[in-house]
Amino acid sequence: MSTPEPGGALLSVSGLRKHFPVRRGLIRHTVGAVKAVDGLDFAVTTGETMALVGESGCGKTTTGRLLTRLLEPTAGSIVFDGHDITHLSQSRMRPLRRDIQMIFQDPYSSLNPRHTVGTIVGAPYRLQKVRTEHGVKRAVQELLELVGLNPEHYNRYPHEFSGGQRQRIGIARTLALRPKLIVADEPVSALDVSIQAQVINLLADLQDELELTYVVIAHDLSVVRHIADRVAVMYLGTLVELADRDSLYAAPRHPYTVALMSAVPIPEPSRRLQRDRIRLTGDVPSPLNPPPACRFHTRCWKAQPVCRQTEPPLVELTPGHQVACHFPEDVPPATPAG
Amino acid sequence: MTGTEDMAGTARDRPEDFLTVRDLRVHFPTDDGLVRAVDGVSFRLQRGRTLGIVGESGSGKSVASLAVMGLHSGGPARISGEIWLDGEELVGASAERVRRLRGAKMAMIFQDPLSAMHPFYTVGAQIIEAYRIHNDVRRSVARAHAIDLLARVGIPEPASRVDDYPHQFSGGMRQRAMIAMALSCDPELLIADEPTTALDVTVQAQILDLIRELQAEFHSAVIIITHDLGVVAELADDVLVMYAGKPVEYGSATDLFDLPQHPYTWGLLGSMPRLDRDRSERLLPIPGTPPSLITVPPGCAFHPRCGHTDAVGTACREKVPELTEVAPEHRIACHLGAAQRERIWRTEIAPKL
Ligand SMILES: Nc1ncnc2c1ncn2[C@@H]1O[C@H](COP(=O)(O)OP(=O)(O)OP(=O)(O)O)[C@@H](O)[C@H]1O
Ligand SMILES: Nc1ncnc2c1ncn2[C@@H]1O[C@H](COP(=O)(O)OP(=O)(O)O)[C@@H](O)[C@H]1O
Ligand code: SF4
Ligand code: SF4
Ligand SMILES: [Mg+2]
Ligand SMILES: [Mg+2]
């Protein structure tokens, strides 16, 4: 477990797994399992932003849905604010729903097109039977204002808003019950750059104002460096590196993280020929049949026989910097770790 | 200053230009009104060079490239302007003639390969088909060519994967297969519309490398369309920035990234978190949202979102700025005077980028 200072960890996860059975044939017998999430250990401290990054299909959304208990874990435990919520039933989960909210990946499909903004943003009050001081309408209008939308648009429908505005509606809805933890699944990846920056700034302001803790799922490493305090890098359902932002970006230690960073295009044409690039070959293997031992060995340029035989554990190499690799990268001498 | 004479510099014909587009307009009549999807775009491109077209979604990038490919014909689109491909004008040409050029001289790859490939035919069958339309060869010859191409774009075990269906390929492999299909007839012009937007960065990097290598090998002219300034910086020699159907800045990639001159380009660069810079506490978003192309704001379409209108006055709201040369081979459409622009860039913009 990482850094659970006394009373500091709002959320802690250990050995978290989610396997989706794969069924075939008429009697639908199980022929295998998609190991979407396969053993995660981490903790999220009150007030911080932790980011989960990795390629498509590595299990980010599944992890988010486990944390918010929209999915039932196959194994492991999730402790939120002192409560073990791993296997809570939907009804026992209800009081905690107020504290844990999720923002979804797609601002287009996550809002009911037949409901007005007022109904959508006010829904949590009705579902949770929460009484508001000056009525639901006032409360909703305050929320709309908080996320930078015009409160007069209370009676409009989602299609009347742009992508960025719809994402704001989604954010207003999650804020209704003053949650402690927000799990945001790719909150800006469907948005245009200019709008993306607006929403990123909004999330930062809300965090300051409402003392929110965020788990942000993202695949864009530049966005992640901007928003996160700590970053967890996932590969095929496991964590390969977990570190403070500055430490991770200054000196990534896992070969996969190094490759991911080296693939980010840099908007500076004059430098494009000078960059040292590491190119991964091929695609991510199937989570139905992940490579044994170190899952990255099929694409890793440093792989040795031991990588195919022994799974490297996630170990703390320097304070706050955990890496799962038999041959981690060195810290460049010019940039001291941390 | 005179727009007709020097619209994007294309009035001076250059024999080396393989593609010249002049004052292209593509308008769609709809129930809600006339959509001015592309409204006066000009550019030119030589073989062996890459033009990047950047802009946010809905700025007219895809519509412009589909027009070059002749893919609006038969539809409701109203097209005007000129498109010269290797000395031949395409806007006025017959649909049949343009269809023949497509595949033979020009080819396109799309954002979503699955929708561009037929689900019921194998990848190989589709490449063979594309090849045989333009080349009178036996099936076995075309098949060997297809396997060569799949190998060339980095598909492992091409001799057996050639018989796979598109859904059996991963996203990155499908994109590679589509590139193979586009290359089947050695096109001299390749248009790639958001070719990597749906892909992971690692696969994106592979595909960008591939496009770069193939271009060097075939010496083709390439247009890369994207909303990602990073992708443009990786590939393009020249860049055209579009806003609301119009070009707002056009110049070499180095000028555009090192000395951008248009307020919208400044806004795009300020909005982007960047790995190659120190981390900033706050991004500098462009306020507001892109306009509807049915009711484009009068004057400069960017004026409701522009922070520099005070330095200009009423012209921003009243007069459409023409694309004008402000430095050699560097054009912008903005009413700001040269001195003001220089001062704003030096004091307000450059220090924050
Ligand atoms: N209900 C399900 N049944 C079977 N497999 C599933 C299910 N949900 C997810 N998976 C599989 O689990 C793996 C992880 O999926 P997940 O959606 O968590 O990925 P992700 O990291 O969020 O990817 P992306 O970046 O594309 O959103 C994938 O292989 C996916 O196909
Ligand atoms: N067939 C069509 N009929 C009407 N409007 C269209 C049509 N095709 C595209 N448009 C509109 O043209 C504008 C530009 O679209 P497009 O070129 O696809 O943008 P992008 O820059 O995202 O590629 C958009 O407002 C789009 O809705
Ligand atoms: S354990 Fe081996 S294969 Fe895995 S990342 Fe480290 S060096 Fe590469
Ligand atoms: S013309 Fe005016 S509104 Fe348009 S970009 Fe220039 S300063 Fe801004
Ligand atoms: Mg996901
Ligand atoms: Mg498009």
Whether pLDDT at A294 is above 50: yes
Q: Which residues of A touch B170 (CB under 8 A)?
A: 283
Nearest to A195 by CA among B57, B351, B243: B57
CA distance B28 to B47: 31
Q: Which residues of A touch B282 (CB under 8 A)?
A: 201, 204
Q: Which residues of B touch A284 (CB under 8 A)?
A: 200
Pairing relationship of beta strands B50-54 and B238-243 according to DSSP bridges:
parallel
Residue A315, min C-alpha distance to chain B (Å) = 25
Q: Which amino acid is at A217?
A: I
Residue A220, min C-alpha distance to chain B (Å) = 8
Distance B54 CA to ligand 2 centre (A): 15
Q: Which amino acid is at A26?
A: L
Ligand 1 pocket test, pick from A58, A104, A183, A215 with the greatest ligand atom count within 8 Å of Cβ, gives A58
| Among chain A residues, CA nearest to B274 | A222
| Among chain A residues, CA nearest to B228 | A193
Whether pLDDT at A131 is above 50: yes
B10: in domain: yes
B145: in domain: no
* Lowest-confidence pick of A112-116, A130-134, A318-322, B231-235: A130-134
- In this prediction the ipTM stands at 0.86
Report the residue of B50, B61, B155, B202 to disrupt the A interface, i.e. the one with the largest count of A CBs within 10 Å. B202
Total residues found in chain A within this entry: 338
Residue A91, min C-alpha distance to chain B (Å) = 38
| Among chain B residues, CA nearest to A221 | B275
Mean pLDDT of A182-197: 89
* Lowest-confidence pick of A19-23, B170-174, B338-342: B170-174
Mean pLDDT of B151-156: 86
CB within 8 Å: B204 and A263: yes
The per-residue DSSP string of B38-54 comes to EEEEEEEEETT-EEEEE
CATH, residue B246: 3.40.50.300
| Among chain A residues, CA nearest to B283 | A197
- For residue B5, what pLDDT is reported? 41
Report the DSSP beta bridge partners of residue B85.
B19, B88
CB within 8 Å: A270 and B201: no
pLDDT in tens, B318-335: 999 999 999 999 999 999
CA distance B353 to B269: 7
Residue B256, min C-alpha distance to chain A (Å) = 9
- Per-residue CA distances from B340 to B301, B317, B336, B346 (Å): 20, 18, 6, 10
B151: in domain: no
CB within 8 Å: B258 and A196: no
B176: in domain: no
Nearest to A328 by CA among A245, A255, A244, A247: A255
Q: Does B259 touch chain A (CB under 8 A)?
A: no
B27: in domain: yes
Pick the residue whose CA is nearest to atom 6 on ligand 4.
Answer: B334
* Stronger pLDDT, B292 or A315, i.e. the higher one: A315
Ligand 3 pocket test, pick from A281, A297, A315 with the greatest ligand atom count within 8 Å of Cβ, gives A297
B25: enclosing H helix or E strand:
strand B17-30
CB within 8 Å: A263 and B232: no
Distance A111 CA to ligand 5 centre (A): 17
B13: in domain: yes
Q: Which residues of B touch A225 (CB under 8 A)?
A: 273, 275, 279
The DSSP output letter for B94 is -
pTM of the model: 0.90
Task: Report how far apart the first and last C-alpha atoms of chain B are (Å, whole number).
Answer: 30
Number of Cβ within a 10 Å radius of residue B340: 14
Report the residue of B229, B237, B259, B283 to disrupt the A interface, i.e. the one with the largest count of A CBs within 10 Å. B283
pLDDT in tens, B111-143: 777 777 888 999 999 999 988 888 899 999 999
Nearest to A216 by CA among A106, A97, A61: A61
Segments making up each domain of chain A, as ranges:
9-99+179-323
pLDDT in tens, A193-250: 888 999 999 999 999 999 999 999 998 999 999 999 999 999 999 999 999 999 999 9
B136: in domain: no
CA distance A101 to A182: 5
Ligand 1 pocket test, pick from A16, A18, A20, A35 with the greatest ligand atom count within 8 Å of Cβ, gives A20
Chain B residues 86-145 with CB within 8 Å of chain A: none
Whether pLDDT at B11 is above 70: no
Q: Which residues of B touch A196 (CB under 8 A)?
A: 271, 285
Pick the residue whose CA is nearest to atom 5 on ligand 3.
Answer: A325
Mean pLDDT of B188-212: 89
Burial of B216 by CB count in 10 Å (0-12 exposed, 13-18 middle, 19+ buried)? exposed
* Lowest-confidence pick of A100-114, A255-269, A321-335, B7-21: B7-21
Domain that holds residue B101: 3-105+187-352
- For residue A159, what pLDDT is reported? 87
Q: Which residues of A touch B61 (CB under 8 A)?
A: none
pLDDT in tens, B78-90: 999 999 999 999 9
Distance B27 CA to ligand 1 centre (A): 41
Q: Does B227 touch chain A (CB under 8 A)?
A: yes
| Among chain A residues, CA nearest to B252 | A269
Distance B174 CA to ligand 5 centre (A): 20
Mean pLDDT of A287-314: 95
Domain tally, chain B: 1
pLDDT in tens, A142-163: 999 889 888 989 999 998 888 8
Nearest to A17 by CA among A35, A42, A44: A35
Q: Grade residue A6 by pLDDT with cuts at 50, 70 and 90.
A: very low
CB within 8 Å: B257 and A226: no
| Among chain B residues, CA nearest to A274 | B234
Q: What is the mean pLDDT of chain A?
A: 90
To the question of domain A9-99+179-323 being in CATH 3.40.50.300, the answer is yes
CA distance A50 to A69: 18
Contact B116, B178 (CB under 8 A): yes
B277: in domain: yes
Select the residue of A204, A269, A277 nearest B253 (Cβ to Cβ).
A269
Q: Residues of chain B with pLDDT > 70: what percent?
A: 96
* Lowest-confidence pick of A171-180, B11-20, B249-258: B11-20
CB within 8 Å: A266 and B230: yes
Report the residue of B157, B201, B254 to disrupt the A interface, i.e. the one with the largest count of A CBs within 10 Å. B201
CB within 8 Å: B275 and A282: no
Pick the residue whose CA is nearest to atom 16 on ligand 2.
Answer: B60
Whether pLDDT at A338 is above 60: no
Sheet strands (E) in chain A = 9-24, 29-45, 49-53, 75-80, 83-84, 100-103, 181-185, 213-218, 230-235, 238-244, 315-318, 321-323
Q: Which residues of A touch B260 (CB under 8 A)?
A: none
